[in-house]
Structure 1
């Protein structure tokens, strides 16, 4: 049994990933950005556990799930640097961390209370800060998107401060950054298995109703990398549906990786060592 943290796990792919791992007997810690979302998660989990106990064949595991206490939930708004740093310092140790939390393309450029462009802060800077501050796990998984293939590695303007705003391009860039972060961690921490996953176009609030794939498909590869041995015991790879893919070539560029880490360190005041 592994102790696993899934960020952004109150709904969508994150919730599906956390529930699947929990159902397989792992000690899963959820993450919510606010007390309100944590409370809502507790309610939905109680209903989910009751339904699981009613619909599945009786077993010791199902009985334990139905009787389980409230889910363990860590709270921290990843659009707030102070909260993100506090989460990283207090979350504790895990065998596996799945950086699932993220936001989609924004219709206009918005900055957070820290003065940082919101897409970059939530999708890139937050997983960087958590990675740098938390005890090193055995495995780290960064969720990306197939749109990383059209991401642009622009170290001179990561936050669209000078170039015209394009929400989907900023999102695509952030997903390229996530793959580069996964590869940089794999290179710098050889004892940690660090990989990136494209979950596919999944029908969620983020993916929208026209998406092509269902939730279980969106969680499958993260669950495999988090909890299985054999072919899952790799590092510095980019997967979709357990298939090892070639990412945007910029993700392998050591100059870009190091520049991204340096930019994140300067913005956050936290250095990944």
Structure 2
């Protein structure tokens, strides 16, 4: 049935995002590979192959989100069945609490939290009408309150903690609709954000998000935080 499903992957043109897009396409989904620059999305689609469609989308712009979702409908002739909120930034320097760089905090929240929220607002109502949907928010163990033990990367951590809360709220709101909402921690993965010394390759980092994005009909896994396909504490 996957060949009839459409997935939208934000930040899909590089790193974990392009690998998530590739694995979803391999599973038979039509994948909208979204990036701020259309050229980057087009290049990623050339590497992924059939089933991948490029889409210009800047999650920090409400106008861009609206236009991209409208274009997605025109490209596919339908709605979005699977949303992977992968787009994210880590802008922290060496500053730690109680000190704050308000510009960095606002910019981080605007992409990592509000950006994911914007895209979900645009596509989730269609999922509810269809009675099927999968929403996967890419997060980090750095955002887990249970595992938090330092003030390193404070804006990034707070943004992911807030994204985790949004995941829980959205999952609760959509309970019983056929739309499952979960958060995935890909782990420290070699990418533009993770850097070249990270121990995991993109294939391993993409595994849990792809698993959650393709949960089968009848599965009721929702409102969870997972790493390595296993639950993590919030």
Could you tell me which of 168, 191, 198 is aligned with 1:204? Answer: 191
Shift of 1:231: 9.2
Tell me the secondary structure at the aligned position of residue 4 of structure 1.
strand
Aligned twin of 2:222: 235
CA–CA distance in 2 between the matches of 1:111 and 1:37? 27
Give the 5 Å matches for 1:155-194.
168-190=153-175, 191=177, 192-194=179-181
Give the 5 Å matches for 1:256-271.
none
CA–CA distance in 2 between the matches of 1:231 and 1:173? 34
Unaligned runs of 5+ in 1: 50-67, 152-165, 248-273
Aligned twin of 2:143: 148
CA RMSD of aligned residues (A): 2.5
Residue correspondences, number: 208
Instruction: Decide whether the 8 Å contact of 1:89 with 1:133 is kept in 2.
Output: no
The answer to whether 1:23 aligns with 2:29 is no
TM-score, scaled relative to structure 2: 0.79
Instruction: Decide whether the 8 Å contact of 1:150 with 1:172 is kept in 2.
Output: no
Shift of 1:171: 0.2
Could you tell me which of 99, 121, 133 is aligned with 1:132? Answer: 121
Instruction: Decide whether the 8 Å contact of 1:34 with 1:75 is kept in 2.
Output: yes
| Cα distance change, pair 231–13 in 1 and its aligned pair in 2 (3 A) | farther
Shift of 1:81: 3.2
Greater shift in the superposed pair: 101-110 or 218-227: 101-110
Larger radius of gyration: 1
Greater shift in the superposed pair: 238-247 or 75-84: 75-84
Aligned twin of 2:76: none
Structure 1 runs, 4 residues or longer, greater than 6 Å off: none
The answer to whether 1:81 aligns with 2:62 is yes
